[in-house]
Amino acid sequence: MSKQTPKNVLIGNYSVAVNRSEHAGFSRLIHLEADSLDTGNYKRFDVMFFEEATRNVGFVNPERNEVVAFMPPGDFSDIYTILQTEHRVWVEWIADESNNLKFFRITTELGRAHVLPSKLPERG
Q: Mind listing the pLDDT tens digit of every residue in the chain (124 residues)?
A: 345 667 889 999 999 998 777 666 678 899 999 998 888 889 999 999 988 878 899 999 999 999 999 999 889 999 999 999 998 999 999 999 999 999 999 999 875 444 444 444 454 4
Tell me the torsion sign for CA atoms 39, 90, 3, 65: negative
Give the per-residue pLDDT at 19. Answer: 79
Whether 32 maps to a domain, the answer reads yes
pTM: 0.80
Longest dimension (CA), the chain: 46
Domain tally for the chain?
1
Question: Does 115 reside within a domain?
Answer: no
Query: CA-CA distance, 70 to 86, in Å (whole number)?
Result: 22
Question: Is residue 118, in this structure, part of any structural domain at all?
Answer: no
> Distance between the two ends of the chain, CA-based, in angstroms?
22
Residues 37 and 19: their CA atoms lie apart, in Å, by 31
Query: 123 in a domain, yes or no?
Result: no
**Residue 107, beta-bridge partner list:** 90
What residue numbers bound the domain in which 36 lies? 3-110
- Let me know if residue 117 belongs to a domain: no
